[in-house]
Amino acid sequence: MINTGDYKTMELNFQRTLPASPAEVYDAWLDPQNQGNPWYQSDRLDFKPKQGGLYHFMRVKDNGKEMPHYGRFVELTRPHRIQLAWMSLFTRGLESTVTVTFEAKGQDTLLTLKHANLPDDAYGNGHKHWDVLLEKLAAHFPAKRATG
């Protein structure tokens, strides 16, 4: 676990059962030609999966905004587990961690993805949303505000 000091962090968790073997899903997850992984159709891509190696990919959104991502392959254990260090605009300079595990369930695979060490202010547009939220909260108490 990365020490993020006083910075408040959060994690997101996802699970999907996929009709394939763990090895098939593992390989697909690291194949930039596969539509189901983050590197697919990157506008720029430096990606050679190797434990300890670095990667970079960038998408350019329709509005022209560039979304660069940088990171490191922390663990590549075929076909069970992939762990990546992951940094982008949305991690606010923190090194977040993406851990993907692949567990056989009969003929299927349970894919579990955990994205940890994300800054806990990143709800869509980040701080702006908190400001709007707190303004709305304050607006709920106008009478109390006047009399308190």
Partner 1 sequence: MFPIHDLRGQTLGFGGRILPAMEARMVAAGLVHREKHGREHVIEFRGEPLRQVAGWVHEYERFWNEHLDRLESYFIEKRKRK
Distance between CA atoms of residues 31 and 75, nearest Å: 16
Residue 114 Cβ vs partner 1, minimum distance, rounded to whole Å: 10
Q: Report 15-74 residues binding partner 1 (CB under 8 A).
A: 16, 18-20, 24-25, 28-29, 34-38, 40
Tokens of 8: 């408040």
- Residue 137 is a binding residue for partner 1 (CB under 8 A): yes
* Binding map of partner 1 across residues 67-106, x = CB under 8 A, - = no contact: -----------------------x----------------
The helix/strand/coil state of 69 is: strand
**For partner 1, which stretch binds (CB under 8 A), given 46-54, 74-82, 110-118?**
110-118
For 77-110, the DSSP string reads ETTTEEEEEEEEGGGTT--EEEEEEEEEETTEEE
Whether the CB-CB separation of 98 and 115 falls below 8 Å is answered with yes
Q: Which of 122, 79, 75 is nearest to 99 (CA)?
A: 75
Which residues sit at the interface with partner 1, rule CB under 8 A? 10, 12, 14, 16, 18-20, 24-25, 28-29, 34-38, 40, 90, 111, 113, 115, 118, 120, 122-124, 129-131, 133-134, 137-138, 141, 144-145, 148
